[in-house]
């Protein structure tokens, strides 16, 4: 990886390597915009991990430009103290401190800003909806000044590069794109008009910070919507913006209508925007930062080597493993906890109001989840080698416990192995690889092909037993459920690739949708039966959007508010909410209606007096994220 670890220079600022952490919402900002120790520690850890530059998350330049109560802000001097702490800690850990200036425009809500959102035109955000207030010329001039004020504050706080957020459907992007700008004055119309606001912002910031200070511009070079920017149009759009005083461009994609291109889920190929970056780099002869599903240092090195970009942005990858750059430089690739693009980080922000990571349970909790040596060494018996069992085993072993891990299968990984069967989830194998490496590294004794009984436990004489035995598929209690054409989702995802058959999948939850997609991709004619009004409800929103699109492309039939009544020799009988029955011909019926805890061993152990803990699905069927988190907590406390 020679190319990735060569230096680079942006207008006098020296970068030690080609890795940049892009601006990424931490959701560690208080509701009043203040920065806490937790925020500072988050950025310290990312800077300490070895990237050349860390760009602080989007900082609002004006109160009505805020998109979330947890957004960072830079529109008043009172925010300088917290911002300075972040800049100083980044610099002390060896990274160039950078900051992104931002205005949400129409992509916010009255609930957040207590007024109508500002926009270039009277077009509401297609996701948030609600009336907007089109900007006047005077309002535009005032905002240009606010961007300049923000830049001055960033310099005062100690940041050494400023990035202007002109992407992702926010205000500057709204001006650039015909999708959101239908003005007929000098700020609309042709490319020169639509770039005027961006050019004025760049010129104002350049005037405030001087000739020697580097400025970056982030653009959504492709918006993937009617009248949205394309790569070719973005090249023409960027020319006058760059000439106004931009030193480097970050090439991203997507807007408020196409968020799946902003934080690309695992359906999308790695480095899916690198080719766009390359086209812009060649056309404009300006340094380029590539972003988008770059989660592997080998891949990142390849992008630099092939001249597709000058720098690579690794965002979610540094949430998953802050030390990725350092490990890559040292050649410790097997120790990298790779981002799997599950978008748990994004979904947890929207659903829970805080950032979480499936593969890294310590994200946002780094200090309280530090691993410290155990006061007393104990013999720990972990039963089950799935994600939760693996995590608790290596964490406990790292603390000094004598850990024995028992798995009835011949390989470790549990349901993650089954989950990685479908093409788009192959990267789950990276998580298994990481967990297995930690098991080896910290000396966990592995016992494969070993189904544990009470007898086994009595022979082992453990001080602590941790049950991570997982769950079993649930079968509906209907007539004909034992017919030969019926199989569970486990049977469909294990073993040889499925043969093409006319298939009915019972259950349209996350598992049912994934199985249906897998079968449709293999050439089967698939129908999904779901009792609820919608399918894929528990799926992360961007993954759900793409998965449903793929199911439609494969002509998968979806029947919601429909109940399985019985299974017959050559199909199933289902009923709608009015009770009308329909026969569906099928050669195969796959049951994917859920799971139940595998509690048999726990019930046998109850009267025997052992210290027993349960984690993951054997406690209650949930997600791999929960199992890993529970394992991480328990491994630190036993």
Looking at the annotation, which residues are catalytic? 170
Q: Could you tell me which of 545, 541, 573, 577 has the C-alpha nearest to residue 561? A: 577
- Residue 381 parent element (H or E): strand 379-383
- Residue 464 parent element (H or E): strand 464-467
Cα–Cα dist 460/147, whole Å: 66
- Residues 392 and 466: beta-carbon distance below 8 Å: yes
Cα–Cα dist 108/283, whole Å: 34
Show the CA angle centred on residue 219, arms to residues 136 and 39, nearest 5°: 95
Q: Could you tell me which of 317, 464, 292 has the C-alpha nearest to residue 377? A: 464
Helix 624-637 crosses helix 387-398 at what angle (to 10 degrees)? 20
Q: Could you tell me which of 463, 414, 425 has the C-alpha nearest to residue 631? A: 414
Task: Give every CB contact of residue 329 below 8 A, 6+ residues apart in sequence.
Answer: 1, 5, 17, 50
User: Exposed, middle or buried: residue 552 (CB in 10 Å: 0-12, 13-18, 19+)?
Assistant: exposed
3-state secondary structure string across 295-307? CCHHHHHHHHHCC
Task: Give every CB contact of residue 437 below 8 A, 6+ residues apart in sequence.
Answer: 334, 335
Q: What DSSP string describes 524-578?
A: -EEEEE-SSSSS-TTS-HHHHHHHHHHHHHTT-EEE-S-EEEEEETTEEEEE-TT
Q: Which long-range contacts (CB under 8 A, 24 or more apart) does 532-535 make?
A: 532/508, 532/560, 532/561, 533/560, 533/561, 534/508, 534/560, 535/508, 535/509, 535/560
- Angstrom CA distances, 301 to 208, 314, 328, 411, 422, stand at 35, 12, 10, 32, 27
Cα–Cα dist 528/543, whole Å: 18
Locate tokens 């009277």: which residue? 122
Cα–Cα dist 511/499, whole Å: 19
Q: What are the helix and strand counts (H, E) for the chain?
A: 22, 28
Show the CA angle centred on residue 142, arms to residues 28 and 24, nearest 5°: 20
Q: Could you tell me which of 140, 152, 154, 66 has the C-alpha nearest to residue 102? A: 66
């Amino acid at each position: 990886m020679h190319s990735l670890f060569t230096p680079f220079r942006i207008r006098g600022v020296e970068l030690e390597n080609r890795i940049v952490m892009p601006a990424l919402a931490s959701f560690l900002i208080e509701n009043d915009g203040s920065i806490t120790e937790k925020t500072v520690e988050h950025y310290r850890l990312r800077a300490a991990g070895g990237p050349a530059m860390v760009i602080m998350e989007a900082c609002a330049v004006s109160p009505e430009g805020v998109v979330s109560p947890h957004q960072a802000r830079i529109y008043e001097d009172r925010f300088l103290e917290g911002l300075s702490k972040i800049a100083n800690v980044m610099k002390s850990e060896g990274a160039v401190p950078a900051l992104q200036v931002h205005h949400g425009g129409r992509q916010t809500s009255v609930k957040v800003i207590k007024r109508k959102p500002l926009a270039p035109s009277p077009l509401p955000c297609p996701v948030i909806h609600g009336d907007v207030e089109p900007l006047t010329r005077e309002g535009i001039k005032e905002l240009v000044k606010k961007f300049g004020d923000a830049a001055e504050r960033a310099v005062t706080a100690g940041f050494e590069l400023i990035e202007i957020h002109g992407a992702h459907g926010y205000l500057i992007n709204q001006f650039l794109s015909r999708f959101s700008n239908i003005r007929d004055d000098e700020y609309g119309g042709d490319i020169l008009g639509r770039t005027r606001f961006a050019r004025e912002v760049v010129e104002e910031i350049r005037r405030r910070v001087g000739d020697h200070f580097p400025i970056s511009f982030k653009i959504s070079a492709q918006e993937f919507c009617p009248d949205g920017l394309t790569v070719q149009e973005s090249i023409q759009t960027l020319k006058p913006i760059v000439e106004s005083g931009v030193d480097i461009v970050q090439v991203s994609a997507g807007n408020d209508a196409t968020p799946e291109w902003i934080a690309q889920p695992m359906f999308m190929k790695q480095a899916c925007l690198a080719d766009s970056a390359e086209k812009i780099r060649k056309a404009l002869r300006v340094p380029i930062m590539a972003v988008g599903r770059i989660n592997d240092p080998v891949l990142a090195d390849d992008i630099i080597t092939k001249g597709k970009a000058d720098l690579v942005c690794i965002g979610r990858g540094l949430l998953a493993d802050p030390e990725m750059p350092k490990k890559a430089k040292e050649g410790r690739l097997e120790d990298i906890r790779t981002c799997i693009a599950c978008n748990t980080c994004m979904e947890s922000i929207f659903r829970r109001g805080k950032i979480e990571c499936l593969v890294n349970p310590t994200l946002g909790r780094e200090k309280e989840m530090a691993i410290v040596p155990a006061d007393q060494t104990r013999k720990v018996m972990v039963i089950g080698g799935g994600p939760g069992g693996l995590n608790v085993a290596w964490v406990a072993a790292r603390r000094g416990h004598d850990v024995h891990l028992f798995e009835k299968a011949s390989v470790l990984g549990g349901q993650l192995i089954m989950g990685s069967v479908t093409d788009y989830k192959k990267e789950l194998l990276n998580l298994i690889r990481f967990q297995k490496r930690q098991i080896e590294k910290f000396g966990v004794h592995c016992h494969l092909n070993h189904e544990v009984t009470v007898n086994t436990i009595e022979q082992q004489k453990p001080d602590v037993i941790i049950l991570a035995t997982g769950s079993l598929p649930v079968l509906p209690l209907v007539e004909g459920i034992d017919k030969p054409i019926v199989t569970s989702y486990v049977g469909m995802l294990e073993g040889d690739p499925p043969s093409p058959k006319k298939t009915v999948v019972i259950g349209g939850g996350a598992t049912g949708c994934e199985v249906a997609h897998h079968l449709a991709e293999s050439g089967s004619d698939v129908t999904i039966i779901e009792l609820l009004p919608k399918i894929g409800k528990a799926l992360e929103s961007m993954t759900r959007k793409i998965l449903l699109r793929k199911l439609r492309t494969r002509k998968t039939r979806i029947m919601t508010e429909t109940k399985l009544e019985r299974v017959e020799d050559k199909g199933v009988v289902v009923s709608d909410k009015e009770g009308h029955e329909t026969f569906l011909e099928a050669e195969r019926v796959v049951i994917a209606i859920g799971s139940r805890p595998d509690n048999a061993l726990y019930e046998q152990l109850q009267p025997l007096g052992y210290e027993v803990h349960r984690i993951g699905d054997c406690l209650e069927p949930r997600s791999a994220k929960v199992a890993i988190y529970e394992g991480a907590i328990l491994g630190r406390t036993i």
